[in-house]
């Protein structure tokens, strides 16, 4: 699947993107998030264009199809969440434990449930897993540290942890898990991850 948006220049950090183009792209994304959050993903592209203060053709120049636009909105949102979590990990430094980390990931994604659910409702792929992949560096470190400390079973692969965490986040999103319930689910997950059960 090709990364949507930005028709010109396929590569990484090509220059020569006109200022107005960048500005409009940003406005459109912002407008789209607001409009979709309010009216659901079935809101018309015209509405988005109007809200962003551009003509409809401009929207389609940046995001050739409506799914592309929706996808971009989700990506943008998840990116921000990821950044937020990443910052938290940085700030906490070596102290942040794996459990704490998972708790935060779930909390952060659950906080934006309104928008995300609204989008998912009307057919957007909200792939938490894909987003989590961008946290892999942090996850790798935390997991290895936990395994060295003996608080997590040694045969657990990062991929597996990501899959489980993604599944729980997804569940929390679609089924609107409450904060205590999320905590409980994590506890259950971790008691299965621990090498020695104490109960």
Partner DNA sequence: TTGCGAAAATGAGTATGACTCATTATTTAT
Partner DNA sequence: ATAAATAATGAGTCATACTCATTTTCGCAA
Interface with a copy of itself (CB under 8 A): 41, 120-125, 127, 129, 153, 156, 160, 163-164, 166-168, 170-171, 174-175, 177, 181, 184-185, 188-197, 199
Shortest separation between residue 18's beta carbon and a copy of itself, angstroms: 34
The binder of DNA chosen from 38, 40, 64, 125 (CB under 7 A): 64
The piece of 37-45, 132-140, 147-155, 180-188 that touches DNA (CB under 7 A) is 37-45
Instruction: Name the residue with tokens 């045969």.
Output: 155
Shortest separation between residue 63's beta carbon and DNA, angstroms: 8
* 45 belongs to the binding site for DNA (CB under 7 A): yes
Torsional sign, CA 9, 11, 17, 23: positive
If one counts every other C-beta atom within 10 angstroms of the C-beta of residue 137, the result is 10
Q: 20 vs 140, which CB is nearer to a copy of itself? A: 140
192 binds, among a copy of itself, DNA, none (CB under 5 to 8 A by kind): a copy of itself
* 58 belongs to the binding site for DNA (CB under 7 A): yes
101 binds, among DNA, a copy of itself, none (CB under 5 to 8 A by kind): none
In whole angstroms, what is the distance from residue 158 CA to residue 160 CA?
5
Q: 60 vs 190, which CB is nearer to a copy of itself? A: 190
> What is the three-state SS of the chain?
CCCCCCCCCCCCCCCCCCHHHHHHHHHHHHHHHHHHHHHCCCCCHHHHHHHHCCCHHHHHHHCCCHHHHHHHHHHHHHHHHHHHHHHHHHHHHHHCCHHHHHHHHHHHHHHCHHHHHHHHHCCCCCCHHHHHHCCHHHHHHHHHHHHHHCCCCCCCCHHHHHHHHHHHHHHHHHHCCCHHHHHHHHHHHHHHHCCCCCC
Q: 18 vs 198, which CB is nearer to DNA? A: 18
The binder of DNA chosen from 30, 34, 61, 103 (CB under 7 A): 61
The piece of 48-56, 83-91, 101-109, 185-193 that touches DNA (CB under 7 A) is 48-56
Instruction: Give the residues lining the site for DNA (CB under 7 A).
Output: 7-8, 16-21, 24, 42-46, 54-58, 60-62, 64-67
């Amino acid at each position: 699947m090709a990364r949507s948006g930005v028709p010109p220049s396929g590569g990484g950090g090509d220059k020569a993107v006109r200022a107005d183009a960048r500005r409009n792209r940003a406005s459109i994304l912002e407008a789209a998030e607001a409009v979709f959050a309010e009216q659901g993903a079935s809101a018309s592209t015209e509405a988005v264009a109007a809200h962003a203060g551009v003509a409809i053709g401009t929207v389609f120049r940046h995001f050739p199809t409506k799914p592309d636009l929706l996808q971009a909105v989700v990506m943008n949102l998840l990116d921000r969440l990821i950044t937020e979590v990443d910052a938290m990990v940085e700030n906490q430094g070596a102290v942040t434990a794996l459990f704490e980390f998972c708790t935060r990931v779930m909390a952060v994604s659950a906080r934006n449930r309104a928008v995300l659910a609204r989008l998912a409702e009307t057919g957007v792929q909200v792939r938490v897993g894909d987003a989590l992949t961008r946290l892999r560096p942090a996850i790798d470190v935390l997991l290895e540290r936990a395994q060295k400390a003996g608080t997590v079973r040694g045969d657990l692969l990062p991929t597996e942890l990501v899959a489980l965490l993604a599944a729980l986040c997804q569940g929390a999103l679609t089924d609107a898990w409450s904060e205590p319930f999320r905590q409980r689910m994590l506890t259950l997950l971790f008691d299965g991850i621990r090498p020695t059960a104490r109960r």
